Amino acid sequence: MFNRFSAYQPQLLSVLRIVTGLLFVSHGTAKVLGFPAIEGLPPPGLSLAGLSGPLELILGLLFLIGLFTRPVAFLASGFCAVGYWMVHAGQGALPIVNGGETIALYCFVFLYFVAAGAGPWSVDALMKRR
Can you give the pTM of this predicted structure?
A: 0.92
Domain, as residue range, for 14: 9-129
Predicted local confidence at residue 41, as pLDDT: 67
Evaluate whether residue 76 is within a structural domain: yes
What's residue 77's pLDDT? Answer: 98
Predicted pLDDT at 117: 98
What pLDDT does residue 1 have?
Answer: 75
Is position 1 within any domain? no
Give a yes or no: residue 114 inside a domain. yes
Per-residue three-class SS string for the chain? CHHHHHHHHHHHHHHHHHHHHHHHHHHHHHHHCCCCCCCCCCCCCCCHHHHHHHHHHHHHHHHHHCCCHHHHHHHHHHHHHHHHHHHHHHHCCCHHHHCCHHHHHHHHHHHHHHHHCCCCCCHHHHHHHC
What count of residues does the chain have? 130
Burial of 97-116, coded b for 16+ CB within 10 Å and e otherwise, reads: ebebeebbebbebbbebbeb
Predicted pLDDT of residue 95: 95
Q: What is the pLDDT along the chain (130 residues), one digit of tens a residue?
A: 788 989 999 999 999 999 999 999 999 998 888 888 888 766 667 777 778 999 999 999 999 999 999 999 999 999 999 999 999 999 998 999 999 999 999 999 999 999 999 999 999 999 999 8
In a domain, 88, yes or no: yes
Question: Around Cβ 44, how many Cβ atoms within 10 Å?
Answer: 9
pLDDT of 47? 75
Buried b (16+ CB within 10 A) or exposed e, 7-30: eeeeeebbeebbebbeebbbbbbb
Number of structural domains (the chain) is 1
Residue 32 lies in a domain: yes
Give the per-residue pLDDT at 44: 67
